[in-house]
Amino acid sequence: MAKQARAIQTRRTILEAAGAVFDEFGYESATIAEILSRAGVTKGALYFHFASKEELARGVLDAAITTEGVIPQESKLQEWVDVGMVLAHRLPQEPLLSAPIRLSADRRARELFGTSWAGWIDYLAEMLTVAKEQGELLPHVDPRQISMLFVSAWTGVEIVATAAVSDGDALEDRIAMLYDCFLPSIAVPGVLGRLDTAPDRGGRIWAAHKAQARAAADGDGQVVRG
Amino acid sequence: MAKQARAIQTRRTILEAAGAVFDEFGYESATIAEILSRAGVTKGALYFHFASKEELARGVLDAAITTEGVIPQESKLQEWVDVGMVLAHRLPQEPLLSAPIRLSADRRARELFGTSWAGWIDYLAEMLTVAKEQGELLPHVDPRQISMLFVSAWTGVEIVATAAVSDGDALEDRIAMLYDCFLPSIAVPGVLGRLDTAPDRGGRIWAAHKAQARAAADGDGQVVRG
């Protein structure tokens, strides 16, 4: 069991190093040597988990769709907002989250691996469908179309923000503004007024999630790894 | 004069070939040999205009900001919309317009060359400021912020659309939907209802521009090159 836990931890360490290297160099210029050096693991350990650079890139893409930290809300539309807010909070600190965007924006890399956008769109469309069933959306709203547009717009904001075309706004500020642009076209007025789209929303939800995880761990007497 | 016109044409041919090659392969993997082969010019001709792959990439980025085809409108907000609509119409046919997005999304390439986003944001912010002075925008709208968000979102929609995460919608359809999401948060109601955001708006404006250019050429007895 300890051995298995160590293997999972090693795999994660390698993926995080690969994410950082793909994020910085792009797929073509990334080298296994650089990934090894950042992960601080042996060649044998790396090849035990990933047979090639291709497999590393696939591993990074598979890790891309994560809703860790999103806490269920009575308003499904608020939860839909929280997904993008938490991601905007986490992404600048986690290359494993930004690397998939780099890989997907690279035409050659995505011919090899596809992208994680379709998965995100499916996930958000499903959530927005529930919001619509709960009466939170304007009648003309197509949950799938809006989710496709929002995933696209979110991606563009991230790409332009990291390219430092900036008046000093952090990613969280820009994503909050993006929601403020989209939501009046989506939400019924009564729901719109109650949505929390403050730039620090992602950080607050993420902190609450971490506190819950710690409390659960203390209750079980076990250590939970984020 | 004929010699100079030929040189301008050759430079354009080389830039278009470079745009196509950067668009397809990305900056790192693009080769001068491939650009030469597509342009159908001699090595001497290419090096006369561009001393290196770096200079070619800069030339492609410099050609990126074009508002050719946008026709002045009484409503500045409509003109602001038309910029993105005409670009959505032209881009799928013109690698010289899509290549800058590929180059800018590539972190390594943009460290070398910067991006054209700042220029687009400046241009659109200025136009939206005039729209605001004309009373077309809601009072809380910050023309610069909205233009930054819209350029970002437009870019993301283009990237995700070309990655073929698609329910069959063309770029023009998606960009039209994007305007429909943004505009209710920007425009005063009286203006909003009169804006034309139909997916074929860009094509119609582009055709009208071409007709005007032809008419002007006939009137002058000269040939205008688009």
- pLDDT, tens digit, 9 for 90 and up, residues A86-135: 999 998 888 888 888 888 877 777 777 778 888 889 999 999 999 999 99
Residue A17 confidence (pLDDT) above 60: yes
Q: Choose among A28, A110, A118: nearest Cβ to B28.
A: A28
Residue A212 confidence (pLDDT) above 80: yes
pLDDT band at A224 (very low <50, low <70, confident <90, very high): very low
Give the mean model confidence (pLDDT) for residues B20-29. Answer: 87
B67 exposure class (CB count in 10 Å sphere: 0-12, 13-18, 19+): middle
Total Cβ atoms within 10 A of residue B117: 24
Q: Tokens 């032809």 correspond to what residue?
A: B214
The more confident residue out of A116 and A200 is: A200
Give the mean model confidence (pLDDT) for residues B10-19. Answer: 93
Q: Which residue, B89, B79, B179, B163, is CA-closest to B123?
A: B79
| Chain B environment of A25 (Cβ under 8 Å) | 107-108
* Contact indicator for B130, B80 with CB cutoff of 8 Å: no
Residue A8 confidence (pLDDT) above 50: yes
Q: How far apart are CA A198 and CA A180, in angstroms?
A: 9
How far A6 CA sits from the closest chain B CA (Å)?
Answer: 33
Residue A201 confidence (pLDDT) above 70: yes
Q: Tokens 């050659």 correspond to what residue?
A: A108
pLDDT at res. A211: 92
Q: Which residue, A131, A26, A4, A119, is CA-closest to B111?
A: A26
Average pLDDT along chain A: 88
Residue B218 confidence (pLDDT) above 90: no
The full set of domain ranges for chain A reads 2-62, 76-220
Question: Per the CB < 8 Å rule, is B163 touching A115?
Answer: yes
* Contact indicator for A32, A22 with CB cutoff of 8 Å: no
> What is the DSSP code (8-state) at residue B187?
B
Residue A1 confidence (pLDDT) above 60: no
**Per-residue pLDDT tens over the stretch B36-53:** 999 999 999 999 999 999
> What is the DSSP code (8-state) at residue B70?
P
pLDDT at res. A166: 57
Average pLDDT along chain B: 88
Contacts of B95 (CB under 8 A, 6+ apart): B16, B19, B20, B23, B24
Q: How far apart are CA A130 and CA B91, in angstroms?
A: 36
Question: What is the phi/psi pair of residue B223, to 5°?
Answer: -95, 125
Q: Which residue, A126, A133, A127, A139, is CA-closest to A186?
A: A139
Give the mean model confidence (pLDDT) for residues B182-211. Answer: 95
Give the mean model confidence (pLDDT) for residues A5-14. Answer: 89
- Domain A76-220 class in CATH: mainly alpha
Q: Which fold has domain A2-62?
A: Arc Repressor Mutant, subunit A (1.10.10)
Question: What is the phi/psi pair of residue B69, to 5°?
Answer: 100, -15
B138 in contact with chain A, both atoms CB, cutoff 8 A: no
Residue B26 confidence (pLDDT) above 90: no
The CA distances from residue A25 to A15, A61, A161, B65, in Å, are 15, 16, 18, 27
The more confident residue out of A123 and B226 is: A123
Give the mean model confidence (pLDDT) for residues A195-222. Answer: 88
The CA distances from residue B89 to B67, B161, B171, B213, in Å, are 12, 13, 8, 18
pLDDT at res. B225: 47
Q: How far apart are CA B210 and CA B215, in angstroms?
A: 9
Q: Residues of chain B with pLDDT > 90: what percent? A: 60
Give the mean model confidence (pLDDT) for residues A155-168. Answer: 78
The more confident residue out of B179 and A28 is: B179
**Which tokens hold the place of B148?**
């930054």
Give the mean model confidence (pLDDT) for residues B201-217. Answer: 92
**Per-residue pLDDT tens over the stretch B106-125:** 777 777 777 888 888 999 99
**Per DSSP, what are the bridge partners of residue A187?**
A137
Give the mean model confidence (pLDDT) for residues A20-30. Answer: 87
Q: How far apart are CA B160 and CA A158, in angstroms?
A: 13
Give the mean model confidence (pLDDT) for residues B161-190. Answer: 87
B117 in contact with chain A, both atoms CB, cutoff 8 A: yes
pLDDT band at B226 (very low <50, low <70, confident <90, very high): very low
A185 in contact with chain B, both atoms CB, cutoff 8 A: yes
Q: Residues of chain A with pLDDT > 70: what percent? A: 94
pLDDT at res. A225: 47
Torsion of CA B181, B186, B191, B194, to 10 degrees: -20
Helix axes B117-133, B76-90, angle to 10 degrees: 150
Give the mean model confidence (pLDDT) for residues B84-110. Answer: 86
B198 in contact with chain A, both atoms CB, cutoff 8 A: no
Residue of chain A nearest B162, judged by CA positions: A107
Q: How many residues does chain A have?
A: 226
